[in-house]
Structure 1
Amino acid sequence: MNEFDFNKMISQSRQVLLNTSVETFEKFENDGGLKEALIYIAIATLISGLFGLGGGIKGMISNVIVTLFGFAAFSYLVHFMGNQQGGTSTLDQVAYSLALFWAPLSVLFSAIIFILVITIVGILFIPFVAIIGLIANVYYAYTAAQSSLNLTDKSKIWITLIVASLGWMVVKAFVSNFF
């Protein structure tokens, strides 16, 4: 069984972000699983939460819980829908691949937005940063899904990601109601 190795995941994330390809994701997809992915996401969410402590500790804790449920749902839906589309993956492969880009991007964009907020004038740039963050997440999610699901048909990958994104939004909205 895999054990969580934060430094290894940081190194793999760096490689995935700087050398993005199906092959790069495939190189790491079996190095961990859902458990390691959730731990990595929790750490990233805690770090990101430090940049926006305006909601207090309770807000940060609820954000971690909501994010973990959302990430787990998104991973499961990518796995389920992708396999329905003819993909071949395990939930562990999908979750680990997704975590390798999602965690560092979350921290990076939280830090950028924090810097923009404290500069006051930078607040004007937050919508642009949010759009860039969305585009980056879509790009990496597409490549990670293509890799972990072993799908080559672009329409099947897009269907998978769109359905998973809709499910993710529903789960996050539902879980958010409890916090």
Structure 2
Amino acid sequence: MRSPVQPTTTARVQDMFAQSAAVLTRPSPATFEQFERRSNLSSALIYVMVAAAVSAAIAAFFALFHSDVTFFGQLLTRLISVPLTFFVFTGLVYLIGRTLFRGTGTYPEVAYSFALFFVPLSIISTLIGVIPVIGWLAMFLITLAMIYFGFLAVQSSMNLRDPVSAGVTLVLAGLGQLAAAAVVGGVLGGLFAVGRLVTGN
């Protein structure tokens, strides 16, 4: 007997991929706003976990060909770091936009809006990021695209139409996310190092 949850989850992901296509092909705050009324945190989480699963699977596969990284290490790291990084960053966007510039959006609207471009671009960057030379160039272009779509998403989800307010919110959230990522990366790296010492690998 098929679980009643699975069709709902599949439908959510398919619907959000369609919304992502609209956002990526018609980039503007108005396009993001078309989908804000459908926003909910659980859908954003499910969608981001799709990107995390793809990233983890690819990283774990290529870990099989490198002796300096482990299959399960890459798998667990990506499954944890991708959603954690995303929700820390969007949480900072919400807090900074609301506190410093009196943005009127809600956190589910922020997370949902950012997920619409983050997930497809993250999957694309993971798929082509393993290609030498071309991968680095693609990663640079995708990073620029992330910044551009993030700027539009801040304007829409937090209702910050002033470009300076939206830009400052995005930059401060990015700096905060980098600091948080460094801490989390250090903790995870330490745990894996301890694990290797214990197991002798």
Please confirm whether the aligned pair reaches a TM-score higher than 0.5, indicating the same fold.
yes
* Cross-structure match for 2:26: 19
Higher relative contact order (CA 8 A, sep 6+): 1
Q: 2:93 aligns with which of 57, 61, 78?
A: 78
Structure 1 residue 22: Cα displacement:
0.8
Query: Normalising by structure 2, what TM-score?
Result: 0.79
**Distance in 2, Cα, partners of 1:162 & 1:101:** 18
2:133 aligned counterpart, secondary structure: helix
Quick one: which of 182, 186, 196 aligns to 1:173?
182
Partners of 1:102 and 1:137 in 2: CA distance:
7
Match of 1:34 among 32, 41, 52: 41
Contact 1:69/1:171 (8 A) holds in 2: no
- Counterpart mapping for 1:59-138 below 5 A: 59-84=74-99, 85-114=101-130, 116=131, 123-138=132-147
Distance 2:53 2:149 in 1: 22
Residues 52-96 of structure 1: CA deviation (Å, up to 9, x unaligned): 221413312221212222111111111111112121100000000
Amino acid of the residue matched to residue 22 of structure 2?
A: Q
SS of equivalent residue, structure 1 residue 51: helix
Q: Deviations over 1:4-43 (max 9, x none)?
A: 5111111111111111111110011221222221221111
Q: Does 1:153 align with 2:169?
A: no
TM-score (norm 1): 0.88
Give the 4+ runs in structure 1 shifted more than 3 A: none
Q: How far off is 1:147 after superposition? A: 0.6
- Opposite residue 42 of structure 1, the aligned amino acid is M
- Which one has the largest radius of gyration? 2
- CA RMSD of superposed structures (Å): 1.5
- 8 Å Cα contact 2:56-2:77 kept in structure 1: no
Stretches of structure 1 that go unaligned for 5 or more consecutive residues are 117-122
How many matched pairs?
Answer: 170
